[in-house]
Structure 1
Amino acid sequence: MPMRRPEVTEFLLTRRSCPAKLLHGPAPEREAVMRMLTAAMRVPDHGKLAPWRFLVLEGTALAGFAARVRARAAETGQDADKGALAFEQAPMAVAVVASPQPSEKIPVIEQTLSVGAAALSLVNAALAEGWGASWLTGWPAYDRGLVEAALGLGPEEWIAGFVYIGHCDAPPPERPRPEPESRVRWLGA
């Protein structure tokens, strides 16, 4: 008989991300962030390649990145507020970097799925620790010039998303969820 963890199931059934615009400081302390990142790395990782890494932006680094996003928006005609506000409002952002590793056995798609699992695990770890968190991308994640210059990404790397973490005083707004019956098809017996 499996060992049930009803509190974990209830957490997963009721979890809600907190919009970045509702997050405020202070940011979690380094020890708490390392605990969350350690949890985030406990994901399926075929071949033990660790095809992800994390860049924690806080304080002056976060403000500096927001300024670079605004400057890049002016250069490229992107929406500066849409790109920079989350970095200006949240007390911390973690760039989840996809860093695929050369492998004859593990295809890039499996590594990519591991990166996505790490990003969601980071959000869930933050929520489980009592913080507000959300996973977003936006145009800054896809601007090669910006992420290479400002975050030091290599040519094979890319941003899977930014996980914003902070205090969230109000319960996050609920959003419509699909009915499970509409997304599940049983095959077999």
Structure 2
Amino acid sequence: MATSRKHAATMLTLQALDSRRSVPTRQLTSPGPDEATLLRMLRTAVRVPDHGKRVPFRFLRIAGTARAALADAALARLRQREPDAGAAVEEKLRTRFTLPPLTLAVIARLEPDTKIPEAERRASAACVCLLLLQAAQAEGFGAQWLTGWPAYDRPFLEGTLGLAPDEELVGTVAIGTPQLAAPERERPDPAALLADWHP
């Protein structure tokens, strides 16, 4: 009986992991998570492999009136970068920050470290994004992890978001209530990706 219960719990856990979907930002609306729920989600998100216990990540919350302010700043930077960007490109960028009730910027902290390679610390921060997507869905929300030029443009990162020179934006995670169920998409076949090493 105990083995059967353990198997059932394992199957439920795997089904929850297998059910993860990205919900497009344009399909996310209010309400978003309240403070207690957000902190619960973050408690899950920070349970990542972290060689050396460096905690090489931090979060920036974009909510409330900050959403429109960040959208305005991003649009101003886009017009500097791409003066010929069309209205559709501008609108997609604006709604990236204004439609979801909550966006979390996940920032990798990559200060000099003589023991833990930068790549490992960056990978740890990336794992945070994935666990945050899982935690959001577990709490009944939809979420999407986005990068694009805002994740790599140093004037935007440092001048607008306030990142230090040794910090990187791993991505922004938009979180809200999904208006539609996200469809499943084709996934890779694990068997096709698996090979055996032979000496």
Q: How high is the TM-score relative to the length of structure 1?
A: 0.92
Secondary structure at the counterpart of residue 29 of structure 2: coil
Query: Which of 33, 37, 49 does residue 44 from structure 1 map onto?
Result: 49
Kindly report which structure 2 residues correspond to 1:8-19, keeping only aligned pairs within 5 A, or say none.
Answer: 8-19=13-24
Distance 1:16 1:162 in 2: 16
Q: What is the match of residue 174 of structure 1? A: 184
Mean alpha-carbon deviation: is it higher for 165-174 or for 69-78? 69-78
Distance 2:41 2:56 in 1: 18
Distance 2:115 2:80 in 1: 41
Q: What is the match of residue 127 of structure 1? A: 137
**Counterpart residue identity of residue 22, structure 2:** S
Query: Which of 86, 99, 112 does residue 102 from structure 1 map onto?
Result: 112
Deviation at 1:6, TM superposition (A): 2.0
Check the 8 A contact 1:69/1:80 in 2, yes or no. Answer: no
RMSD of aligned alpha carbons: 1.8
Query: Which of 149, 167, 171 does residue 161 from structure 1 map onto?
Result: 171
Q: What is the match of residue 67 of structure 1? A: 72
Distance 1:105 1:146 in 2: 30
Q: What is the match of residue 194 of structure 2? A: 184
Deviation at 1:85, TM superposition (A): 2.1
Q: What is the match of residue 150 of structure 1? A: 160
Deviation at 1:25, TM superposition (A): 0.7
Instruction: Give yes or no for the alignment of 1:83 onto 2:81.
Output: no
Deviation at 1:103, TM superposition (A): 2.1
Distance 1:114 1:173 in 2: 28
Secondary structure at the counterpart of residue 69 of structure 1: helix
Distance 2:160 2:16 in 1: 36
Q: What is the match of residue 123 of structure 2? A: 113
Deviation at 1:163, TM superposition (A): 0.3
**Counterpart residue identity of residue 130, structure 1:** G
Deviation at 1:84, TM superposition (A): 2.6
Q: What is the match of residue 38 of structure 2? A: 33
Distance 1:52 1:129 in 2: 22
Mean alpha-carbon deviation: is it higher for 132-141 or for 101-110? 101-110
Check the 8 A contact 1:83/1:138 in 2, yes or no. Answer: no
Gaps (5+ residues) in structure 1?
A: none
- Structure with higher Rg: it is 2
Distance 1:36 1:97 in 2: 17
Distance 1:73 1:101 in 2: 28
